[in-house]
């Protein structure tokens, strides 16, 4: 038998005047012989990290029961029920290098497992973070090696916490011990970074505003492509482009709502949804698009900033987050912190369900991704870095088995988990930070 069908290149783009849109993985991208043999495409593994500040009310976070099957979810984690089979909760993880116990070092050590140099000046020094180690390998085949995102538009300079430069608190991701990578909180700028085409940020913004839609530029290319695809691929392209259009529409709506508001609002630039939840969901949707289009395979997202004084009246917590965490054991304050924790988890659950519903190859984006969600602080009232709220989500293309709770009897380095997650996505290291080995060697919680 002679096979003549040529596979569509995985890095296929729809191109228009001054812009391009990456396509999701299609059946037509599988080599012809492979497709005829009904063998699924080799999965792409992705790695992500979501940071939440100021620890948790751990009694409300920790699932009941011993190590083993993740049966009953805790009050804080109950929104994860629809994806529980993809979740592993790890109890009693520690960040020893985050001491002496500050907000700055909680953020800085979370992905580096390194001790931040004590300085208020520009001679800061930390360590290369796990995401950037992964990006050096996973980012070789993508448009962006990594994507750094946050929710807070304010970037503070100078001294932020007990003599530590603000750079430690502002930046979750570090390309080297001396190179922090700033995160973007403005959804339009993230969108332009993913789908724009060169020029300065100002030029890209002007170009997008000049056009009704990014997709209008590539309409002709879309029509030509669809004539060469099968029915399932045509549906997949349509769903993906509908998602792009929806994100565009929401960004434009947020801009219009802000422009129509005559009240002064110096803290919220045009284009950022007024609601925290809407903003967070839009940023998560952008991550889905980035992965679906294979624009990047490594993402970090700071869901809120250490020392955040954000209030959450939408869930019945009008008090500022940071002051609440210094609760002194007050049950009412601790429960309000738990409400904030549960709200943050529910936004992550929204994201995971979206990944689960997005088909890719022989599974879903959730099946092929691996995400770490958690904080660099344990009990915020005393600024400790033990018994951290930590969970892992996703399938890593068959290399992570969820539905489990791993409860360590002794504090265990978070660096062990970083080392294990890097291994699960194909990045091999002998050691990371203060790691003692992979988690497989200790308790085998992530075994297939």
List the domain boundaries for the chain.
43-185+272-442
CA 250 to chain CA mean position, Å: 20
**Tell me, what's the pLDDT at 41?**
53
Share of the chain above pLDDT 90, in %: 58
Q: Bigger pLDDT: 289 or 259?
A: 289
CA distance between the termini of the chain: 37
Rounded Cα gap, residues 170 and 188, in angstroms: 20
**Tell me, what's the pLDDT at 79?**
98
**Tell me, what's the pLDDT at 318?**
97
Q: Enter the tokens of residue 146.
A: 């990594």
Query: Quick one: pLDDT band at residue 33, thresholds 50, 70, 90?
Result: very low
Q: Is the pLDDT of residue 269 over 60?
A: no
Rounded Cα gap, residues 421 and 439, in angstroms: 9
Point out the least confidently predicted range of 135-144, 149-158, 202-211: 202-211
pLDDT tens digits, residue range 164-185?
Answer: 999 999 999 999 999 999 999 9
**Tell me, what's the pLDDT at 267?**
34
State the DSSP string of 212-259. S-HHHHTHHHHHHHHTTS-HHHHHHHHHHHHHHHHHHHHHHHHHHHHH
Length of the chain counted residue by residue: 448
Token match 């170009």: residue? 207
* Coil, helix or strand at residue 37: coil
**Tell me, what's the pLDDT at 66?**
86
What is the average pLDDT across 417-445?
Answer: 84
**Tell me, what's the pLDDT at 254?**
57
Question: Is residue 382 a contact partner of residue 325, using CB atoms and an 8 Å limit?
Answer: no
Question: Is residue 49 a contact partner of residue 172, using CB atoms and an 8 Å limit?
Answer: yes
At residue 183's C-alpha, the angle toward residues 178 and 185, to 5°, is 160
CA 403 vs CA 37, 75, 400: distances in Å: 33, 16, 10
Mean of the per-residue pLDDT values for the chain?
Answer: 83
Q: Is 153 left (phi over 0), alpha (psi -120 to 50) or beta?
A: alpha
pTM of the model: 0.80
Q: Enter the tokens of residue 260.
A: 């129509």
Rounded Cα gap, residues 318 and 203, in angstroms: 39
Question: Is residue 190 a contact partner of residue 149, using CB atoms and an 8 Å limit?
Answer: yes
**Tell me, what's the pLDDT at 446?**
43
Query: Quick one: pLDDT band at residue 210, thresholds 50, 70, 90?
Result: low
In sequence order, which ranges of 89-184 are alpha helices (DSSP H)? 103-112, 130-138, 167-170
Rounded Cα gap, residues 328 and 381, in angstroms: 6
Looking at the domain that runs over 43-185+272-442, which CATH code has it been given?
Answer: 3.40.720.10
Q: Bigger pLDDT: 268 or 190?
A: 190
Question: Is residue 87 a contact partner of residue 69, using CB atoms and an 8 Å limit?
Answer: no
Query: Quick one: pLDDT band at residue 23, thresholds 50, 70, 90?
Result: low
Point out the least confidently predicted range of 36-40, 41-45, 216-220, 342-346: 36-40
Q: Enter the tokens of residue 401.
A: 């088995």
Return the CA Rg of the chain: 22
| Burial letters 236-268, b for 16+ CB under 10 A, else e | bbeebbebbeebbebbbebbeebeeeeeeeeee
- 369 has which bridge partners? 46
């Amino acid at each position: 038998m002679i096979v003549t069908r040529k596979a569509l290149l995985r890095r296929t783009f729809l191109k228009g005047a001054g812009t391009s849109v990456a396509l999701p993985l299609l059946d037509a991208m599988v080599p012809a012989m492979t497709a005829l043999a009904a063998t699924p495409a080799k999965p792409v593994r992705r790695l992500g990290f979501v940071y939440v500040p100021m620890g948790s009310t751990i009694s409300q976070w920790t699932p009941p029961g011993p190590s083993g099957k993740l049966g009953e979810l805790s009050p804080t984690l109950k929104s994860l029920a629809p994806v529980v089979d993809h979740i592993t909760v790890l109890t009693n993880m520690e960040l020893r290098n985050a001491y002496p116990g500050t907000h700055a070092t909680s953020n800085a050590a979370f992905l580096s497992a390194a001790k931040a140099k004590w300085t208020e000046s520009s001679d800061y020094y930390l360590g290369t973070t796990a995401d950037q180690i992964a990006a050096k390998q996973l980012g070789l085949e993508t448009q962006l090696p990594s994507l750094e995102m946050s929710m807070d538009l304010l970037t503070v300079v100078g001294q932020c916490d007990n003599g530590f430069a603000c750079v430690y608190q502002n930046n979750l991701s570090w390309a080297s011990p001396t190179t922090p990578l700033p995160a973007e909180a403005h959804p339009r700028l993230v969108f332009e970074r993913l789908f724009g085409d060169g020029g300065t940020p100002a030029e890209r913004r002007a170009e997008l505003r000049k056009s009704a839609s990014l997709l209008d530029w590539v309409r002709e290319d879309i029509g030509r492509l669809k004539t060469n695809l099968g029915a399932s691929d045509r549906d997949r392209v349509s769903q993906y482009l509908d998602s792009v259009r929806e994100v565009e529409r929401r960004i434009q709506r947020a801009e219009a709502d802000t422009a129509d508001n005559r009240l002064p609002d110096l803290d919220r630039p045009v284009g950022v949804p007024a609601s925290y939840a809407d903003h967070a969901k839009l940023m998560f949707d952008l991550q889905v698009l980035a992965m679906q289009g294979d624009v990047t395979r490594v993402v970090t997202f700071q869901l809120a900033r250490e020392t955040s004084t954000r209030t959450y009246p939408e869930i019945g917590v009008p008090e500022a987050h940071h002051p609440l965490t210094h609760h002194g054991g007050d049950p009412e304050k601790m429960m309000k912190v738990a409400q904030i924790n549960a709200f943050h988890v529910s936004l992550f659950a929204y994201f995971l369900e979206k990944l689960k519903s997005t088909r890719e190859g022989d599974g879903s984006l959730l099946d092929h991704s691996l995400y770490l969600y958690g904080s660099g602080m344990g009990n915020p009232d005393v600024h400790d870095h033990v018994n951290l709220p930590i969970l892992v989500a996703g399938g890593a293309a068959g290399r992570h088995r969820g539905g489990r709770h791993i409860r360590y009897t002794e504090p265990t380095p978070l660096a062990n988990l970083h080392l294990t997650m890097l291994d699960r996505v194909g990045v091999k290291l002998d050691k990371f930070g203060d790691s003692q080995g992979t988690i497989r060697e200790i308790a085998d919680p992530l075994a297939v």
